[in-house]
Amino acid sequence: MIEEVSVEHPVSLDDYASYSHLEADVAELRSAAATLSPQLRGRTVWMVNSTARGGGVAEMMPRLVSLLNQLGVRTKWVVIGTHRSEFFGLTKRLHNLIHGEGQPAFTAGERDLYETVSRELADEMQHLVAPGDLLVVHDPQPAGMGAMVQQRSEVRSVWRSHIGLDEDLPQTRAAWDFLQPYVASYDHTVFTASEYIPSFLSGNVSIITPAIDPIGDKNRAFAAHTLAGILCNSGLMTAHTPVVRPSFEFRAERLQPNGCFASATTPDEIGLLFRPVVTQISRWDRLKGWMPLMQAFVKLKCALHHATGLTEIQRRRLQLVRLVLAGPEPASVQDDPEATSILQELCEAYVGLDSEVQQQIVLLSLPMKSRRENALMVNALQHCSSVVVQNSLQEGFGLTVTEPMWKRIPVLGSNTCGIRQQIRDGVDGRLIHDPQDADVIARTMVDMLGDPASRERLARQGQRRVHDDFLVFTQLRRWLEVLVSTVGRESQPPPQPDWL
């Protein structure tokens, strides 16, 4: 099935422009669009992906589609579906292989399944598109369908990969071998980093990095009382005076020493807004480096007993600092056995800690039932942090790095391909070379916490970097350029694939 998703226009370009620090960005985007959009007139851009909810692509799509339309490019969004449920099992396997995980082999049956579903979808999609339209197909699930539509109709096509790995492994090779017949036939492809491009595509690729929406719930700035209100409404802080808005329907919960989750202000206030706080917010995924980060923090606290050469304030800061580890509530990851087992491992490690250091670590479960409330909680937690950490073992890009950088919060990231694109060590934040090395992580946290002036300098530069490169305006301009150049590209007669 192919379903069109309707997109509202809750935010206009004028809304962005009404912020003085974004006015010039909107003006630049409008000026670029004045030249580029007319070259797309008469065509419809079809954004195609596999889900309208959940995941980074679905999160980004409404804003992208809405703003392209506002810039004069007729853009529609469709999602694919199928009654053959094994199809998404297969595409999840492709996804994992592109990240280097899983069995690097496919059966003939799997190829048949992929082609059958792609053909069924192409039969439907073909009736929606008109000659000259542009198909922008996201990720492996609809890649086969898009390739078939472009072979049969006079449309131009772009395949956008949101995933990749900066290593050549048997797993990545198996996935790309599987996808090559389809993705190689697109007019153009887009990746997040040059390191992710498989060799058979080189020369026909543009790089577009993900971007954040600076005024959305996840990233907008708050007045102090709004921030305090969100913390109280979400259960992250106790309101000691009346607050205007009622409590959120679903509140954050905190892991207790007995291994169960309860109110986030039990057994004590976390100290957000008062204590120094080091935070990591991510999915419960082994590749996010949770365990070595927790170990590093334990080392930091234990080393404090015999540390020398600290000023009184530095010592006090290290005594008071808490580590906040936050991720999606367990119920929302029940269908993800990996996430459940990683969270379970972390809970066990926490329960096994000495009670003195245990008190200094706060593991939070953030409800996911309301996307808006979840975004506000993530935003508030990032705002309250002295340092945000993203200790990933691998990271495709890492919006959890971009988000705090935009909020002028200093970030400590691992030296992975995605994070390296955003942080230059000592300039826009700090990078640690080995996310498994708890000693180095602990030392870097101590350095950062001990030097507020340098933290502020990194944070300022981090914000500037996001402003210049990773806001939605840059992303839109890049998309306009790619779409226009794809339309203008001389059509190469593609080799006839055997599935036609």
Helix (H) or strand (E) holding 411: strand 411-414
CA dihedral defined by 210, 54, 288, 380, rounded to 10 degrees? 80
Q: To the nearest whole angstrom, how small is the minimum distance from the Cβ of residue 332 to ligand UDP?
A: 8
Contact of 115 with 144, CB cutoff 8 Å: yes
Q: Tell me: does residue 399 bind ligand UDP (CB under 6 A).
A: yes
Interface segment toward ligand UDP; rule CB under 6 A; list 73-81, 266-274, 317-325, 395-403: 395-403
Using CB atoms within 10 Å of the CB of residue 130, give its burial: 0 to 12 exposed, 13 to 18 middle, 19+ buried: exposed
Nearest to ligand UDP of 330, 452 (CB atom): 330
327, 404, 410, 435: residue in contact with ligand UDP (rule CB under 6 A): 327
378/326 Cα distance (integer angstroms): 9
Q: The tokens of 275 are what?
A: 């204590």
Q: Indicate the residue among 66 and 332 with the shorter CB distance to ligand UDP.
A: 332
Residue with tokens 């020369």: 203
Looking at the Cβ atoms of 171 and 390, the one nearer to ligand UDP is 390
Q: How far is the CB of 338 from ligand UDP (least distance, A)?
A: 12
Instruction: Say whether residue 214 binds ligand UDP (CB under 6 A).
Output: no
**Under the criterion CB under 6 A, does residue 89 sit at the interface with ligand UDP?**
no
Site string for ligand UDP, 48-67 (x = CB under 6 A): --------x-----------
Task: Give the C-alpha separation, 454 to 48, whole Å.
Answer: 44
Region of 151-159, 264-272, 392-400, 421-429 interacting with ligand UDP (CB under 6 A):
392-400
Q: Which of 74, 152, 275, 283 binds ligand UDP (CB under 6 A)?
A: 283
Q: Which is nearer to ligand UDP, 279 or 400 (CB)?
A: 400
Please say which residue, 141 or 374, places its beta carbon nearer to ligand UDP: 374
Please identify which residue in 164, 398, 429, 462 interacts with ligand UDP, judged by CB under 6 A. Answer: 398
Return the residue of 161, 400, 416, 474 that touches ligand UDP, per CB under 6 A.
400
Q: How far is the CB of 88 from ligand UDP (least distance, A)?
A: 18
Question: At closest approach, how far in Å is the CB of 44 from ligand UDP?
Answer: 29
Stretch that binds ligand UDP, among 89-97, 278-286, 291-299, 355-363 (CB under 6 A): 278-286
Choice from 120, 187, 373, 403 touching ligand UDP (CB under 6 A): 403
- Contact flags string 95-134 toward ligand UDP, x per CB under 6 A: ----------------------------------------
Q: Lay out the site mask for ligand UDP across 2-31 (x = CB under 6 A, - = otherwise).
A: ------------------------------
Q: Which residue has the tokens 């679905």?
A: 58
Interaction between residue 325 and ligand UDP (CB under 6 A): no
* Edge-first strand listing for the sheet containing 322-328: 261-263, 253-255, 361-366, 322-328, 277-281, 387-390, 411-414, 430-432
| Range in contact with ligand UDP (rule: CB under 6 A) among 153-161, 281-289, 302-310, 491-499 | 281-289
Helix (H) or strand (E) holding 297: helix 290-303
Task: Tell me the C-alpha distance between 394 and 399, whole Å.
Answer: 13
From the list 83-91, 96-104, 188-196, 399-407, the region that binds ligand UDP by CB under 6 A is 399-407
Which amino acid appears at position 15 of this protein? D
Point out which span in 90-98, 223-231, 391-399, 405-413 binds ligand UDP (CB under 6 A).
Answer: 391-399
**Please, which residues bridge with residue 431 across strands?**
413
For ligand UDP (CB under 6 A), the number of binding residues is 15
Which range binds ligand UDP by CB under 6 A, 116-124, 259-267, 295-303, 394-402? Answer: 394-402
* Identified binder of ligand UDP from the candidate list 174, 281, 343, 476, rule CB under 6 A: 281
Give the x/- contact pattern for ligand UDP in 237-276, rule: CB under 6 A: ----------------------------------------
Evaluate whether 13 touches 67 at the Cβ level (below 8 Å). yes
Measured from the CB atom, the residue of 137 and 363 that comes closer to ligand UDP is 363
Residue 361: CB minimum distance to ligand UDP, A: 17
User: 183 vs 364, which CB is nearer to ligand UDP?
Assistant: 364
Interface positions with ligand UDP (CB under 6 A): 56, 218, 281-283, 327-328, 366, 374, 378, 397-400, 403
